[in-house]
């Protein structure tokens, strides 16, 4: 299927999806401020949206898991030193990149999809579109293609000139951290506790590696007993299964609110997921989203707009990389 036919089909489908969800965009129609603008590439790269949408669709058709990977890649980029594409950089003699930080190594994925999109964009609009903007748009398309909400992405981000592997451990929330610590990392980026609950809903897509949940499965709170909230046997209690994948919820390739339903039923996969129910404030939100998917979709879209504006570089700061894995 060519770009034009594909774009027409997706546009119609997207319109019908948004109409059925009654999502009234709670976002400004004009420029978003902070040097970003919804129409930033309208004149310089008018086919950008079509190229990215088609490329993400092709990748998703080849491997449905990639949708979760692209969304997670965007999240891991923005929560560490802001949305400036540092997670895409390879190691150099000057710095160790974020790709090989423990939280990302053998976990964060989808780099080759972003590289492929960048190559196509460079053919159409050389040295014009940042890798960071491509990642932000790809994450949005990944959510929409799995049945999730659409949100407008303001554009004009520039790519950072370095990466900081140590900052990953300091700034990126871990699924084994307390809710208070996770919330503190969010608030340090200008987000809030509602964003913690809403963006955790991204776990409706994808998988987690077994090593992240074994402590909970087989030695719950250091009791030596399994977590009573989980079914036993999800991951065998042996080292060989550490890299095995466990579904984050029952609909790993469909964006929905089953993540919250699972938590209400004491079946959240990660410690950080189930912890949301234990706190009165976040627990109330979890119960609300479990019974009102449309509210979740609307709030998720709003939180993604906030996330994608964290620590952006604009104007003469940073650069437009020619290749996403290296600075110019």
Q: Which residues are catalytic?
A: 76
Using the structure block, give the residue that is written with the tokens 């053919």: 123
Tell me the CA distances in angstroms from 75 to 120, 196, 279, one per residue in order.
23, 12, 24
80 is in an annotated binding site: yes
Number of other CB atoms surrounding residue 97 within 10 Å = 21
What b/e readout covers 103-122, taking b as 16+ CB neighbours within 10 angstroms?
ebeebbbbbebbeebbebbb
35 is in an annotated binding site: no
Number of other CB atoms surrounding residue 239 within 10 Å = 9
Q: Which residues contact 33 (CB under 8 A, 6 or more apart)?
A: none
Q: Which residues contact 268 (CB under 8 A, 6 or more apart)?
A: 229, 259, 262, 274, 276, 277
Tokens matching residue 168: 């990953």
115 is in an annotated binding site: no
77 is in an annotated binding site: yes
226 is in an annotated binding site: no
Note the residue count of the chain. Answer: 328
In whole angstroms, give the CA distance from residue 4 to residue 318. 33
256 is in an annotated binding site: yes
253 is in an annotated binding site: no
Q: Which residues contact 170 (CB under 8 A, 6 or more apart)?
A: none
129 is in an annotated binding site: no
Secondary structure (3-state) at 232: coil
252 is in an annotated binding site: yes
55 is in an annotated binding site: no
175 is in an annotated binding site: no
Which residues are known binding-site members for heme b?
A: 203
Binding residues for substrate: 173
Q: Which residues are annotated as a binding site?
A: 77, 80, 82, 86, 98, 173, 203-204, 249, 252, 256
* Feature table: binding site for Ca(2+): 77, 80, 82, 86, 98, 204, 249, 252, 256
């Amino acid at each position: 299927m060519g770009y034009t036919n594909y774009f027409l089909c997706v546009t119609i489908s997207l319109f019908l999806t948004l109409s059925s969800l009654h999502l009234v965009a709670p976002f400004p129609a004009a420029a978003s401020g902070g040097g970003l603008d919804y129409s930033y590439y309208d004149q310089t790269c008018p086919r950008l949206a079509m190229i990215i949408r088609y490329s993400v669709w092709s990748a998703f058709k080849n491997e449905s898991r990639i949708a979760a990977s692209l969304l997670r890649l965007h999240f891991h980029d923005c929560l560490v030193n802001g949305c400036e594409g540092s997670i895409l950089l390879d190691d150099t003699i000057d710095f160790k990149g974020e790709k090989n930080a423990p939280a990302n190594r053998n976990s964060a994925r989808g780099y080759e999809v972003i590289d492929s999109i960048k190559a196509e964009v460079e053919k159409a609009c050389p040295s014009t579109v940042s890798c960071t903007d491509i990642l932000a748009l790809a994450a949005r398309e990944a959510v929409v293609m799995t049945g999730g909400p659409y949100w407008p992405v303001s554009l004009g981000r520039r790519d950072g000139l370095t990466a900081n592997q140590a900052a990953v451990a300091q700034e990126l929330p871990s699924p084994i951290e307390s809710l208070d610590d996770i919330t503190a990392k969010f608030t340090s980026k200008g987000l809030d506790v509602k964003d913690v609950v809403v963006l955790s809903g991204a776990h409706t897509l994808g998988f987690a590696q077994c090593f992240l949940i074994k402590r909970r499965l087989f030695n719950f709170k250091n009791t030596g007993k399994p977590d009573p909230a989980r079914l036993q046997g999800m991951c065998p209690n042996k080292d060989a299964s550490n890299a095995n994948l466990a579904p984050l919820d029952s609909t790993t390739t469909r964006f929905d609110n089953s993540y919250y339903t699972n938590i209400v039923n004491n079946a959240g996969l990660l410690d950080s997921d189930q912890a949301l129910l234990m706190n009165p404030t976040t627990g109330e939100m979890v119960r609300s989203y479990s019974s009102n998917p449309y509210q979740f979709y609307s709030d998720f879209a709003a939180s993604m707009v906030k996330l994608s504006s964290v620590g952006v570089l604009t104007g003469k700061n940073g650069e437009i990389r020619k290749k996403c894995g290296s600075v110019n």
